[in-house]
Structure 1
Amino acid sequence: MAAMELLDGATPVSRETAALSRVQGAIARPAVVKAARALSHFGEHSAGWFAMGLVGAALDRDRRRDWLAASAGVVAAHAASIAVKRVVRRQRPMDPSVRVLVGTPSRLSFPSSHATSTTAAAVLFSGLTGKPLVPVLVPPMLVSRLVLGVHYPSDVIAGSALGAVVGGLLRRRLRGRG
């Protein structure tokens, strides 16, 4: 049984629901919600990251093949997260203390596909740009999913871990092609 706590002094909720509610209470201001929604739309079905990979392929002709492979890797990471969601079947947060601030394509929550594809993109594109993109790209996407009330903290952590594994494995293959 999940650990419970009293959020408002009377209503027992899971610790993850309480944490989610606290994140929203602390930072879900209009400007933050607007930015979180923009990240949500950008990351939907990994489309924004895939598009960025295609831009990389167009601009970096010497490594076009690697950029295209990295773009495919982002989509593969997203697909892996969807497969895990269908096995786990965890429902998205549904508690009166959590405000859902964006639409979602499904009711399934674990792992966060946005976290998965963003982390995979950050790992793969870091290898191609030589820039440390993980600390810049990943935290805002993970926090955005909490601000929007569509994932529990463990959903975004698991999604990011899955994206890191998929991205890391493909990145090693790309390095070996040199």
Structure 2
Amino acid sequence: MTGDPGGLIARLDHAALRSTRRRLGGTPAVPVARGLSHFGEHALGWLAVGGLGWLSGRHRDRWADAVAGVVAAHAAGVVVKRVVRRPRPVLADVPALVGTPSKLSFPSAHSCSTAAAAVGFAPVVGAPLMGGLTAAMLVSRVLLGVHYPTDVLAGAALGGGVAVGVRRVSQRRREVRR
């Protein structure tokens, strides 16, 4: 990334990546992180949860808004990733523990879609559950060595912001129809 005087952000990213791996590598957190990685790939796990929620027949507007937010956030993350083109971490002492569909890192699309799911699903399933799942997903990306902490933080901010915007637009449309 550019605009990092003296490489401070890069040094902090590397230190946090190494520290996360040192503390959690070799623990049950690794297989959990791999499971989260597969769940979050292309936002498919979140889309499935949203679809099942919608099919339940309760709070359909909220579930539909949440799914729209997840789709929009994931798309926004992919677009930004292709513009920024930051390579994934390549540290000899922190090898990637899971495959990735792209060599690009910033922002984390998993974090984008997960934060969007948190914004959209929390009113229906509860903020504590979604907050915990979001934190787990963000940490998992760093633990697996496929993202820097700044990738996941930026992804979460982007995804959450996009989801809030989608929800507001959807709510206004419903109000206009009434």
- Segments ≥4 residues shifted beyond 6 Å: none
> What do the CA deviations read for 1:103-161 (whole angstroms, capped 9, x no partner)?
0000000000000000000101113x162144222100000001100000000000000
Q: 1:107 — aligned with what? A: 103
1:15-164 map, 5 Å: 15-61=12-58, 63-127=59-123, 129=124, 131-132=126-127, 133-164=129-160
Identity of aligned residues (%): 50
Displacement after TM superposition at 1:65 (Å): 4.2
Q: Give me the CA root mean square deviation.
A: 1.8
Q: 2:3 — aligned with what? A: none
Q: TM-score, length-normalised on structure 2? A: 0.87
**In structure 1, distance between residues paired with 2:85 and 2:134:** 24
Q: Relative to structure 1, is the Cα distance of residues 173 and 23 closer, same or farther in structure 2, using a 3 angstrom cutoff?
A: same
Displacement after TM superposition at 1:173 (Å): 3.1
Moved more, 17-26 or 83-92: 17-26
**Any gaps of 5 or more consecutive residues in structure 2?**
1-5
Equivalent pairs counted in the alignment come to 168
Question: Is 1:33–1:147's contact at 8 Å kept on the other side of the alignment?
Answer: yes
Instruction: Report SS of the residue matched to 1:101.
Output: coil
**Any gaps of 5 or more consecutive residues in structure 1?**
5-12
> What do the CA deviations read for 1:8-45 (whole angstroms, capped 9, x no partner)?
xxxxx833112101110011224111000000000000
Q: TM-score, length-normalised on structure 1? A: 0.87
**In structure 2, distance between residues paired with 1:144 and 1:134:** 15
